[in-house]
Structure 1
Amino acid sequence: MPRIAPAEPPYAPAIAAELDRIMPTGVEPLLLFRTLARNPRVFARLFAGGLLDRGALSLRQREIVIDRTTARLGCEYEWGVHVAFFADRAGLTDEQVTATAHGGRDAACWPDDERALLALVDDLVDCRTLATETWEGMKAHFDDAQVLEAIALVGYYHTISFLCRGLALPCEPYAARFPAKAGAPDRTVRDKEDDR
């Protein structure tokens, strides 16, 4: 069990509406969301700050940033949920999914623009800043709006990773697990198009 017991239905109307909006049909709300619902203010603020809608980055670019951030921070819960829900839709191969958790930023499975995203995540997680080389790599492939969104995603999922790990959330039953270096994750949830 997590350190704080998750809320159970019936949820407050505002929380129920958000859970219905974000969760795929027929999938129970995430343990993270139900735990955050114990504090409606935190729940509302985190949902208001979410970046899973259409933005400056493509779905694939967004998921590379999220997967790399959560993996680098050791957050198997959030990494596994994103791999289960989004990896196939984002066109990530099993090799690439594994590389988000174990590969170097220069792994052969990534094109140059995606290597730049990985470098951005690695610099921010490891050094809390961007090296000049990393900045130049990003600017070679992405415009200002995309760079800002990538940095915001790393920050947001840093917070989400802290919540998941601090609350000791067990992985969702359908979520991918961190792969062994030679293996690939099991991706089982392929529901609901990303229509946001």
Structure 2
Amino acid sequence: MSARITPIDPPYATDVQASFDIVMRGAPPLKLFRTIAHNPRALQRMMAGGLLDRGSIPMRLRELVILRATALCGAEYEWGVHVAAFAQKAGIAPAEWAATASGADPGTWSDEDRLALELVEQLHAHYRIDDALWARLAGTFAEDQLVELVMLAGQYHGIAMLVNGLRVEHEPGAPRFPAR
């Protein structure tokens, strides 16, 4: 399937380039951002609402949440971008990032990893977290971390809808979902 909206090409308007610079730090902008740039206001709002900074949860948990959320939504584009850009830096081994796509347990998840993944799965399936899981989460994570984990899962469900709805074309070099 081809992209529904073709990403813009350089030269970019000054405000669009400024938005790209915030997240890309000198690298060429991803097709997703170049697609959203058809609406510079939406691009700026997306950049302003990102959670890819040093937040209250470790990078590994952040990326596991993103990978599982995007995999559950079938958002191969976003899953592949995060595997390519962040998995190694976050200490996520190839068997682990593959497991985020399949839902399998690679046997290396920590208790925190399992809880975060369960949070994503429950939110995806029911749009809420039951009291039993919440009690386990609250026994492990601080309130600021709980807020961030839930926001992150929700944000990447929205991004999954965006990349799937617009059919953003796969980035070169980004992995695809493993064969099942």
TM bin (shorter chain):
over 0.9
Matches of 2:141 and 2:16 in 1, distance apart?
Answer: 35
Superposition deviation, residue 24 in structure 1: 5.0
State the partner residue of 2:87. Answer: 87
What code does the residue aligned with 1:69 have? A
State the partner residue of 1:63. Answer: 63
Unaligned runs of 5+ in 1: 182-196
The TM-score with structure 2 as length reference comes to 0.94
Contact 1:95 1:109 in 2 (8 A): no
Is 1:38 the equivalent of 2:38? yes
**2:92 match: secondary structure:** coil
Superposition deviation, residue 28 in structure 1: 2.2
Q: Relative to total residues, which structure has the larger helix share, 1 or 2?
A: 2
Q: How many residues align?
A: 179
Percent identity, aligned pairs only, is 46
What code does the residue aligned with 2:5 have? I
Is 1:149 the equivalent of 2:148? yes
State the partner residue of 1:99. Answer: 99
Pairs within 5 Å for 1:1-196: 1-25=2-26, 27-104=27-104, 108-181=107-180
**1:141 match: secondary structure:** coil
What code does the residue aligned with 1:2 have? A
The TM-score with structure 1 as length reference comes to 0.87
What code does the residue aligned with 2:14 have? P
**2:159 match: secondary structure:** helix
Unaligned runs of 5+ in 2: none
Q: RMSD of the alignment, in Å?
A: 1.3
Deviations along 1:82-121, whole A, 9 cap, x unmatched? 00000000000111111111124x6522111110000100
